[in-house]
Amino acid sequence: MSATSQAYLNTRVTAMSTRLLEREQVQALAQLSLPELAERFQLESVLDDQLSKQAKSRAVEQTLIRVLLAELAVLIRPMTAPERGLLLAWGRKFALFNLKTLIRGKLYNLDQVEIREHLYDLPDGIGLSDQELLRAENVLELLRILEQGPHRLIARQAREVYEQRREPFALEAAIDQRYYAELVRQAMQFQGENVQSLRQLLGAILDRIDLLWLLRFRFSYRLSPSETYYQLVPSPKLLHRDRLLDLANMETFEQVLGALPSPLDTLLAGSTSLIDVQRRIGAHQHAEARQILSSGRSAVARALAYLVLRESDLMVLFSLIQGRLLALPQELIEIGVELAEPNCPIGGFASAA
Amino acid sequence: MLRPLPMKLVRLLVMTDDLPQASLTLAETESFEPDPREPEAQMLSGLPGRDYHEFYQQARSRLEKIAKLVPVAEAPDIDRIRVVYHEELAATNALLRERWEQASRFEEGFRHIDEEARFVRDQEAALANFANLKIDLGTLRNKTRFLDFYVGIVPRENVVRLEGAVKLADHLLFNYLQRGDSAHVVIVGPRGEKESQLQSVLSSASFQSLPIPQGLDDASPAQKHDEFARRREELERERARLHAELAAWERKNHELLLDARRTLLLAEPFVTLDPSIRSIGPLAVLSGWVPARQVHDLKQRLHESLILPFELDARDPLAAERPLVPSVPIKNRFLEPFAILVKQYGIPQYGEVDPTPLFAITFLFMFGSMFGDVGQGAVITALAWTLRAKLGRIYLFGVLAGLSSVLFGFLYGSIFGYEEILPALWKSPIHHPILMLEIALGYGVLFLVTACLLAIYNRVVIRNFSGALFGHHGIINLVFYLALVWGGLNLGLRGDFGTAPMLLVGVALGALAWFGWRHLDAPVGEKVLVVFIETLETIIGYVSNTLSFLRVAAFSLNHAALSIAVLTLAGMMGTMGHVITVILGNVFVLVLEGGIVMIQVMRLEYYEGFSRYFSGDGHEFAPLRLRFSKPAAVVDAAPASVSPTEAANGLV
């Protein structure tokens, strides 16, 4: 990227980062009613009274994703092909949500209209050719169609897994695994300052994902160490290959937390449940992204950090609106957006393991 | 000829049951372009054709998938045009589902054979490798009491992860060969409880077990190769058998698939109309654009075909709707290639003058005058005619450009660069350069004045009167330009600009400045600056645009000068050298100068002409139509006044 494009992108990211929500702002938003939230974020049209609660919720989620992807489109404009490829690879997670919806729909023989209602409307470059995929008669045909497009690798992997196992879990795990592996592969192609910052950012993301998957697969789904390890993606930062091998081989939840490298060990010390771990490590990833955004020297890493944070903010907003739509108690909404800690006793893994 | 064909916005109110028939009739007349805008009446919200649409899309998708395996004619003959109702479409969809299930088995069969063939190739590769290993392969074939062996293939990208995963089950992975996307591996470890963990990981990693050939130790490699060759032959026989089965299946289902195609083609008009249809209860409304003179015929056809009552009303487009109204393109054999070039710039908006005829005349005039040569023009014509099959519709463009060049060649007395062979019917440019420049300048003035008049006309038609008066290339601009030309002429002839033209220039510029000032919302300083620059730009723009046409004369001189250069060079050679130089020189002039002249003419047309008066942001009339040839009986039965060509020829 030329110095001019770098400067332009940095300025763009800085200007856009003023849209990110501070904790105080989230606290203030949590006190607003649904009409106030709708007015504040220009969502009146999607919260049309004639729609059902479910349809409203879908419409809000769709609108927020569209906002995020529109910002992604703005950010990639001055980028070079590899930088653009990285950000688009990150944005493809939404296409994979659609893919999973399509797969589940085909597996359970759902009606096309029903499946379509649950698909995100995505822009070109990120989306799948939904119409063609929708008309596939079964999962195998769907994956074979997908193998002819840009999601070739993910689809091939998914098809091979499906042909062998014929179960949705293995299929979806393969899709997720491939998505993160591809993201890391693209990020590691960069050089100099870019690779340092991207390693830090993707490391934080992968550390979080790996730890949560590891705990879930090992102690909730009771998968073997081998199978658990196979589903993970080595992180370019803390939870690298050898460490994952060690962690996957541990027998209890506490042993895993105890064997974590610094600073995850202190951060997660005393955690008793997956929800607790999720909250703490989520905050850690958030802090890392904030740090890259505020003082990172790589424009592409800052752009990606912004998108990660922005996605998280939009999900907070979605949770608030969802909470209001479902008329949930204020306390529960605040727990949902992590303004309050859950005070209900949640069974830890210590007993489960 | 320049005026567009008047269009009407037609609203058709029919009973929902009659919708398929109404769609078919509208498609048959080829005079109705659906208008997909939301209806004005809020209560019209239902989408009556939704199920129909779904069935159609699903059935069509299935038929297209089948058509990838066996040939299914795109547009088979249809004996009788009839309405395809919901039930028939649903039945066709169900039938195609069944047929696709059958056809997909063949597809899977072919894939299976491909996979098997790949596996045989992998086995051969493995054999070549095993042959070099100095170990007892017999032990790898069978599990031992203490050791567990797996020999097989995994996708290359899974090897590293699998290596880690098997390590956790106390096994080791040895990657001994990589071929394409696959890696050949041997996994070995102790037998025991962790062995079962491995099975699940291996299936997640798409591990494909590779049987170690029996008798490897006692059979020669040549024998094993023969075995693999036999297996390959078997697979080829299997493939041929599957092809034969597929052909038999196709013969059995040929008529059925054609019937399905016919049903879908007949259902297509209703599906195409689907986004434009709104309903309330048993009533459905659809609206669209129809050439004004075909509204009556359309109504007549609907009367003849619909059983239930209907209502059709038509109105002129509103001023605000003008950008939505389609423009009917000019249909004329000679203008068609020029229309293609106009389309590169844009489609005339409804009401706007279609510049194609003017473009054709001015293009041929400028090309001929800049590249006037009987011989070279004849070559262009002959080439375009010879290559007409490859060039398609554009060949006529080459023929006409060449003929124009021939005509001007006769006027200039030039043939393949020789100026002495033919007597000039008019004058040779190289001998009258000043006259050529004066004519080019005069032509430029005429061209720009015409462009301004068209710009004014286009604005008046859409009732944009202030734009016609003060806008770019409006009346005030034209007055300024004509006064400037008048003053320029005075200056050239008498050495004095003249008071009257000076006054007119001043008043016109003052009026433009005043208009600009009033429409600017900015601080005074900025207003002064903007108005000053805009006024200056008007003066410089018109002067430079006029001078731009000097290139028409310049290229006619250039052509003659290049020819002189070629002939001078040829004159320095012997007889053979002379002939070769003249031929090569003419080829050079034809290719290089011909190309440059073409570009220069297009530049004058687009920049000096179109940018003044042609917005090009309209869209072409695309009526609903049937995608198959209508049977003769039906065409005969159709009223003579509603011929499709007439619909498209709609220029008054």
For residue range B293-324, list pLDDT tens digits in order. Answer: 999 999 999 999 998 889 999 999 988 888 89
Smallest CA-to-CA distance from B149 within B184, B186, B179, B180 is with: B186
* Domain spanning B118-233, CATH class: alpha beta
| 3 state SS for A305-319 | HHHHHHHHHHHHHHH
What 3-state class would DSSP assign to B530? Answer: helix
What 3-state class would DSSP assign to B648? Answer: helix
The Cα-based distances of A54 to A117, A122, A313, B321, B482 in angstroms read 11, 20, 21, 37, 68
How far apart CA B404 and CA B389 sit, in angstroms, is: 22
How far apart CA B286 and CA B275 sit, in angstroms, is: 9
DSSP string, A120-164: ----TTTS--HHHHHT-SSHHHHHHHHTTSTTHHHHHHHHHHHHH
| pLDDT at residue B41 is higher than 70 | no
DSSP-derived pairing of the beta strands B277-280 and B283-291: antiparallel
pLDDT bin (cut points 50, 70, 90) of residue B206 is confident
| Closest by Cβ to A160, choosing from B57, B101, B155 | B155
User: Hey, what amino acid is at A237?
Assistant: K
Query: Which residue in this structure is represented by tokens 């016109």?
Result: B508
Partner A contacted by B205 (CB < 8 A): yes
| pLDDT at residue A160 is higher than 90 | no
DSSP string, A173-207: HHHHHHHHHHHHHHHTT--THHHHHHHHHHHHHHH
* Overall average pLDDT of the B27-36 stretch: 90
pLDDT bin (cut points 50, 70, 90) of residue B645 is very low
Q: Residues B575-615: pLDDT tens digits?
A: 899 999 999 999 999 999 999 999 999 999 999 889 888 88
CATH numbers and ranges of domains, chain A: 79-189 (1.20.1690)
Q: Would you state the structure tokens that stand for residue B260, as one six-digit string?
A: 């399905």
Q: Give the model's pLDDT for residue A294.
A: 92
Instruction: Answer whether A227 sits within 8 Å of B200, measured CB to CB.
Output: yes
DSSP assignment letter at A338: T
How far apart CA A341 and CA A334 sit, in angstroms, is: 8
Least confident window among A131-135, B486-490, B491-495: A131-135
pLDDT bin (cut points 50, 70, 90) of residue B145 is low
Q: Give the model's pLDDT for residue A307.
A: 96
How far apart CA B613 and CA B325 sit, in angstroms, is: 19
Please report which helix (H) or strand (E) contains residue B370, including its range.
helix B356-370
Q: For chains A and B, what is the number of CB pairs under 8 angstroms?
A: 81
Contact residues, chain A to chain B, C-beta under 8 Å:
112-113, 131-132, 135, 137, 141, 153, 156-157, 160-161, 163-165, 170, 173-174, 181, 223-227, 229-231, 241, 244-245, 248-249
DSSP assignment letter at B31: -
What is chain A's Cα-based Rg?
21
| 3 state SS for B607-630 | HHHHHHHCCCECCECCCCCCCCCC
* Alpha helices (H) along chain A: 3-17, 23-30, 34-40, 53-76, 81-91, 93-107, 112-117, 130-134, 139-146, 152-165, 168-187, 193-215, 225-231, 241-248, 253-258, 264-268, 274-295, 299-325, 330-336, 349-352
Spell out which residues of chain A touch residue B162, defining contact as CB-CB under 8 Å: 230
Partner A contacted by B203 (CB < 8 A): yes
β-pair partners for B14: B284, B310
How far apart CA B41 and CA B39 sit, in angstroms, is: 5
Instruction: Answer whether A225 sits within 8 Å of B166, measured CB to CB.
Output: no
Please report which helix (H) or strand (E) contains residue B290, including its range.
strand B283-291
* Overall average pLDDT of the B493-499 stretch: 91
Strand order in the sheet with B147-155: B172-179, B182-190, B147-155, B208-209
Q: Give the model's pLDDT for residue B119.
A: 81
| Closest by Cβ to B201, choosing from A141, A156, A226 | A226
Instruction: Answer whether B164 sits within 8 Å of A225, measured CB to CB.
Output: no
How far apart CA B104 and CA B108 sit, in angstroms, is: 6
pLDDT bin (cut points 50, 70, 90) of residue B481 is very high
| Closest by Cβ to A227, choosing from B160, B167, B204 | B204
The full set of domain ranges for chain B reads: 1-117+234-328+621-652, 118-233, 336-613
Q: How far is CA A120 from the centre of its chain?
A: 15
Q: Give the model's pLDDT for residue A344.
A: 55
Average pLDDT, chain A: 86
Q: Residues B60-117: pLDDT tens digits?
A: 989 999 999 999 988 888 888 888 888 899 999 999 999 998 998 998 899 889 988 9
* Whether B32 contacts B290, CB under 8 Å: yes
What 3-state class would DSSP assign to B13? Answer: strand
How many CB atoms are located within 10 Å of the residue A290 CB? 15
Q: Give the model's pLDDT for residue A332.
A: 87
Instruction: Answer whether A229 sits within 8 Å of B161, measured CB to CB.
Output: yes
How far apart CA B594 and CA B596 sit, in angstroms, is: 6
* Overall average pLDDT of the B429-454 stretch: 93
Smallest CA-to-CA distance from B593 within B550, B633, B549, B556 is with: B556
How far apart CA B84 and CA B184 sit, in angstroms, is: 56
ipTM of the complex: 0.83
pLDDT bin (cut points 50, 70, 90) of residue A348 is very low
Q: Give the model's pLDDT for residue B652.
A: 24
| pLDDT at residue B50 is higher than 70 | no
How far apart CA B383 and CA B489 sit, in angstroms, is: 44
Q: Residues A253-268: pLDDT tens digits?
A: 999 999 999 899 999 9
User: Which of A48, A106, A154, A226 to probe the B interface (max B CBs under 10 A)?
Assistant: A226
How far apart CA B75 and CA B516 sit, in angstroms, is: 59
Highest mean pLDDT among A339-353, B120-134, B324-338: B324-338
Spell out which residues of chain B touch residue A226, defining contact as CB-CB under 8 Å: 165-166, 168-169, 194, 197-198, 200-201
How far apart CA B287 and CA B187 sit, in angstroms, is: 70
What 3-state class would DSSP assign to B427? Answer: coil
DSSP assignment letter at B423: P
Partner A contacted by B165 (CB < 8 A): yes
